[in-house]
Structure 1
């Protein structure tokens, strides 16, 4: 009897262990995964924050350059009026004026104060290109207000420090903007502790803190950096309570969880298999969205977009392309898109030598010449010019810089122009892009949507346009849906647009009908 009871007890104990151990292991793994995701999300937020500091500083420099370019006698009514014009035109500029001999001279807010001899302290920092910076300078017209003042050649602008850290963030995570040469805090968001954030910066974000995650980011073009932090969330903080709970639930919950896990694993395994089946049997479709010249409305080319209808349900490309990348299917998927594109558009491309189609290429195919070799072989003896097949790559594809740079150069040497797609979502800086030779930037739809709106992200589109002009590359604006966006883009020298204002993505027969209706060619197109 005792032996039997011992055997039953051992079986019950073993059953509990077998039931509880996977649960606790899952909790631990989930906690670690949550920690990693939180840190990655915080790092992306830091990248956004440092881009904001670049934009504010870029605007301050542009305002000073504008003031220097305007004629007028020192502190004359004409010059003060010009300074007021600068304040009105530049969103983050709170005041603009002249200084000299260690004194404020005049501004639209204070007027001509030369007779008052309002002194300016020595600058807190000087840049190598001649700018002077005062970190917390009292404004001449206010004893309470402290601004960041930036000056050069006798002209200065005042910037509200909060402009550097004023990001739309529902989580209200603390932010600090820092001058990385002097390790001095320029601005703090609400709830941020200066000593804590500066210490985290000096440790490059590697802070051993059980309550907070930290992340840092540094500008590639200016001596600016940011520190951000967010609260940690832990699944195992009350592990003893979780253990008791799972022991009480026992085998029943273990069986339910096992059944759910089996269903989830089966679903995950079957979806890649279904996608592979669709690729092999060419069940993936290719649609084409027109790209037009904004000044004339002429359709100059199209982008090939992959589509998949599974059992009457449209699967989002964001889902199945990600699955393809994770399961080694992205290269055959790209090859299928190329084959279908050439099958559909060969006649059109041969009849219009200036017309082109752009194809999205994965980061995997930007590290080697595999796809270039496939593309070269497919085009041989087709009569299609290499320049009519253009390569689109996202900013994420540029992470392996050395290999990507060589492959991009090989595409361009073979005659295929290279585009950066969804530009702005990866937060690339001008100095980073200058290391690559590309032909076109495509501005992401999220930034085009903010045109004409009073949103924090609305300042990104003009910044990207200015970067593209500095690089000497052409620009395609994605997601154009309103005439006011076209007017805005044309005024700023953006050459091309793509979006529902012009046409949705369509099959080749619809595309040909659409082109003929717009009379973009002399003779109708027949495929």
Structure 2
């Protein structure tokens, strides 16, 4: 069993390697595509985030700039200062409170009161960017009542509510936004239940994969805050797996398509069509021998196809041709080749004929007799030198077939019925269709069936004699068959006993050689009775 598995693996090692390589390539491509999709999604979200930050930043900048122009020379917070501060922030959505510090340290607020301190008892972290200072809560819980970002510049202060700022961003639920101070040192706010674990250094605008996140960090307009947009790592792996499955399906579909195209272009029908178009099919000939003289009297033409040095069996490609539209082209190719071979090699062979097999489509073609006449005229081949073989299964509609065959006979061709006796309409055929030659199927004269006196082939031979038809025995393979055939007046035969199918040059040499060494048999039948 182990050896069998090893042998199987050995035979399919290349296929297994190709599948493994394709799987690895699909996973690699899926990973790259998933990262591109995630990066594009995060960049698009950041573009929306930048747009949403425009108004809050503009309001903060406006308030700080205006506060810088306030008069802070007094020693006490005045009613006028309270009023100006309140008017400054009353219509601003993102500014909760504004304040100025007097030279003596007193802080005047837009709430209309003096503040004891900026932090007002809340612990906050402070960091500086340029001329501005920022205070943020030490925790990450976001509360609309207590969580503020305080921005100061030259003794001026602005309070922005983190909850309102985050809500304005309308951040997608499947993503998380973390606002972090410059360099990633100070966490400010997070939209997720668990703030991002700060990692240093941040690689800005690059997709980064951590232990549980996939994220991109973006610097603010003035490099004040870093916005980190992240997704759970499972989103990346899940997308990668989906893309992998998709790519596998695509690769499989492409493989099936390529296989289908390969099968199409390498199929027997397609290769046969190309061969017919290129006129690369050949014809071999199986000799028909006179049993009384040993000389050749004719031959049956057989299509021969060698595709790139590989012989394709006739029963394979002829069956394919019959199922497609190629059988008529194949027949015409054979007729042209036979006419050319005859005019080149056999023109001096007296009374020699070559049979060509016809199919039902040929018999149904009304232009077929005229086509044959034109080909034979082009090669100066007499019509009597070309006979046509048909089988019973090609004559299902006997009346039109009889008319077509009569036209061929009128042109001077002889008609042979092939494989006689294995069909179902034998006697009616002999009555309704004009025949000149009857060929007994090889199955009737096999060694185990030829000897009996009441053998069916003997009755066929007697029937042919009564109809004055020539009889040809097919498939003669042993000398023991010959005396039985001659005894019934079957004086023409073909088969491997005499010769296999030959190329035209070999057939011509065979014709002019000494006759076959056929023993003479005591027979009272004269060959002239059959010619």
TM-score, normalising length: structure 1 = 0.47
> Which one has the largest radius of gyration?
2
Q: Which structure exhibits the higher relative contact order, with contacts defined as CA atoms closer than 8 Å and separated by 6 or more residues?
A: 1
